[in-house]
Amino acid sequence: MNDASAKPIRPVLTSAERVNTLSHFHRAEIARMAGWRDRLDRTTNWAITVVAALLSVSLSTASAHHGVLLFAMLLILLLLWIEARRYRFFDFYRARVRQFERHYFAQIFSPQPDFASDWLLIVGEGLRAPKFLLSQRAALARRLRRNYIYLFLILLLAWMVKISTPSLQAVGLRTGFVGSLREAVDSAALGPIPGVAIVVVVAAFYAGLFAIVFFVAGDDGELSFGDVHV
């Protein structure tokens, strides 16, 4: 048996065929990236809808329990986790599109000598063995920092108003705010769970969110603040 026949044959493309292949591939990657971008927007829209709906339910009537807002926090956390997973896919295809823009189209419009001449090899290896470029933790931190922290803050503010305003509680009779911090903490009770325990859990949860926002490594390069990115 001839050993030469076992070697892979590399297709030889003409210049026109190469340009045509790159153009179609770039168009396909743009479509993939746009598809995942649309999924991200849908998840964010779901989160905004959930916040608006449960805020309306909780604050519109005194019979609504403050636990509705705690439930909203859990739902937004779930949607954040889903969006972080979707963002990892979006980031993968976005990076491939940016390779074309940075190393192919930019070189046509503004050539630079020997600028990442092996970029097509990197694209090829990524096609053979696709791997996420971003961890779930980093994706979660990025989406929290850019969008979801504001939704969580709105829910926190609404929850604090709910437990500190007697007229917004089923047992509330007077208007205005509670007379002491102790009353607000007691009104945060959830069934047999005392209010102080609920307040501690909520405080720990938000402390974790703020730790992710402020202490997890921020975006750099093309994703840094002020730079245009997709």
Model pLDDT for residues 44-78, shown as the tens digit of each residue: 999 999 999 999 988 887 788 888 999 999 999 99
Rounded Cα–Cα distance for residues 7 and 125 (Å): 18
Rounded Cα–Cα distance for residues 209 and 203 (Å): 10
Predicted local distance difference test score (pLDDT) of residue 1? 46
Predicted local distance difference test score (pLDDT) of residue 53? 94
pTM above 0.85, yes or no: no
Q: Mean pLDDT for the chain? A: 83
For residue 2, pLDDT over 80 is answered with no
- Phi, then psi, of 193 in degrees rounded to 5: -85, 125
Please give the torsion angle defined by the CA atoms of residues 207, 210, 216 and 218, in that order, rounded to the nearest 10 degrees.
Answer: 180
pLDDT over 90, % of the chain: 41
How many Cβ atoms are within 10 Å of 84's Cβ, its own excluded?
23
Segment 33-39 shows an average pLDDT of: 93
For residue 178, pLDDT over 80 is answered with no
> Which residue type sits at 218?
G
Calculate the alpha carbon distances from 124 to 121, 151, 170 in Å.
5, 40, 63
Rounded Cα–Cα distance for residues 7 and 218 (Å): 46
20-34, 49-63, 76-90, 174-188: which is most confident: 76-90
Which of 53-67, 89-103, 164-178 is predicted least confidently?
164-178
For residue 6, pLDDT over 60 is answered with no
